[in-house]
Amino acid sequence: MNKKELAAAMAEAADISQAAAARALDGMISAITQSLRDGESVSIVGFGTFLVRDRAARTGRNPKTGETIQIAASKSPAFKAGKALKDAVN
């Protein structure tokens, strides 16, 4: 399912126009993105939690040359599924 299909499913479930559902989806994505940028996690009970994980600096290897390289520390967005979502999938 892509973003357009998700907006269409939301529109049908909420009995609203697809344009309104697309705006709502864009708003949700931007709110989650802004919260993660600010270092906050976003928890949706029964669905899961969006959070930022820190990745430590590490040593890697260039696969082409075999040369050792230094990989800088970074932050990575992550999603931790909630119990209800896990149960629905299994």
Token pair, residue 40, equals 């906050």
- Write out the residue limits of the CATH 4.10.520.10 domain(s) in the chain: 41-90
pLDDT tier, 84 (very low <50, low <70, confident <90, very high otherwise):
very high
Pick the CATH number of 41-90 from 3.90.550.10, 3.40.30.10, 4.10.520.10, 3.40.50.1100: 4.10.520.10
18-37 helix and 3-14 helix, angle to the nearest 10 degrees:
120
- Going by C-beta distance under 8 Å and a sequence separation of 6 or more, which residues neighbour residue 1? 9
Specify the pLDDT at position 22: 96
Beta strands, E only, the chain: 42-44, 48-55, 58-61, 68-71, 74-81
pTM above 0.85, yes or no: no
13-49: pLDDT as tens digits: 999 999 999 999 999 999 999 999 999 999 999 999 9
